[in-house]
Amino acid sequence: MPHIKVKPFNLDIIDNKVNGFIKFRATSNISDLILCEYKGYKLFLDIIRKGNEYLIKPNKITRLANSDILKEILNGFAKELDLDITHSNTNLKPYKPKVTHRAEKSIEDFYDFKSNFSKIKLEVGFGSGRHLLYRALEEKDTLFIGIEIHTPSIEQILKQIELNSIENIWILNYDARLLLEMLPSNILDTIYVHFPVPWDKKPHRRVISEFFVNEALRVLKKGGYLELRTDSLNYYKYSLEVFSMPKKSSFRVEKNRDIEVISKYEARWRRMNKDIYTLTLQSLEESKAKVFDIDFGFENLLSKNIKLPKDSIVVDDYFVHFGKEWRIDDGFVVEVSFGSFNMPEKKMLVCKDEKPSYLPSNPVKSIVNMKAHNLIKEVLNGKCN
């Protein structure tokens, strides 16, 4: 990660350099935070006292994926303050801008999601992408959404999409459980979950859960289905129980069913004579439309000197935890983790000029995040501690 080390300097000079680039300084007994704005990005720099040097690096919560932009910000900060650099890894290589692939989408692309395709199918954890690519080439009138958290798998399938001139695949690097919650009701024809990680020692991390199945049935059209394939007997037994819970649905179980295309892993398991289990859950009714009434705004603070709770606040299916805190003249900055236990958000909460806001961006629009946000507002207004 880009960073610089500099000789000690009077940190108060930062306050005299507040301008379009440097927004403000926040302080604690451990480190200082500097909010910078550059090329439309807002992020914090950490200044940490390390013996006879200061380490300056991007704060991990607000830092960008683009390392060249981070290097430019660090170099610009050092130049602005005329700092004496003792070590740096911020030399810029000849810049080649990343070309965003037309198939690569962000979670924001699914806010108010609509499609012109006659059918929409989702594959969760597509791995090598062999099944997803085959389906997309066979069904040109269907939009296939592939969701995956393994970056090399995403890079590989984007290359294949380009090589094969495929126009009906969207690729998303995100958690499928959150995506499902954001999708409109009755929009998907099929959801594929092929060979998910069994997580036998950490079952709470499994993608299949009662919540996932209920959300899947909501977003599936009447007659649409969720297809799970697994080589794990434990996962099969667990999923069989979960698939049996919904009241208005049907499911079938198949063993060692042949399909048109299989992954290299399934081919290996078949050579090892491992059994492959397929569970198919079908939606039998149309679901009610989901109303997304989600707003992450704040009212003005009643007090700048609110005492934040040190312990996590746990309420049913969500939590809020306030972490490190920094002070500024007209408020404070605090790390805050919140939302689902399995899929928490982590943001910097800036309470300045009596008006709080999240950095680097608002949370994902989910019901559990909205609940947590409302609890955060109660804490800031002294109604909960």
The pLDDT value given to residue 97: 52
d(C-alpha 348, C-alpha 334), whole Å:
6
pTM: 0.73
The percent helix, strand, coil of the chain (3-state, each to 5) is: 25, 30, 40
Region 357-385 average pLDDT:
87
The pLDDT value given to residue 302: 64
d(C-alpha 17, C-alpha 232), whole Å:
60
| Arithmetic mean of pLDDT over the chain | 91
Distant-in-sequence, close-in-space partners of 64: CB < 8 Å, separation ≥ 6: 41, 43, 58, 70
Q: Lowest-confidence range among 154-158, 213-217, 225-229, 363-367? A: 363-367
d(C-alpha 362, C-alpha 377), whole Å:
14
The pLDDT value given to residue 357: 94
d(C-alpha 284, C-alpha 129), whole Å:
29
Contact 331, 352 (CB under 8 A): yes
pLDDT tens readout for residues 20-73: 899 999 999 999 999 999 999 999 999 999 889 999 999 999 998 788 899 999
The pLDDT value given to residue 32: 96
Say whether pLDDT at 99 is over 80.
no
Distant-in-sequence, close-in-space partners of 44: CB < 8 Å, separation ≥ 6: 33, 34, 35, 36, 58, 59, 61, 62, 333, 348, 359
pLDDT tens readout for residues 154-206: 989 999 999 999 999 999 988 898 899 889 999 999 999 999 999 999 888 89
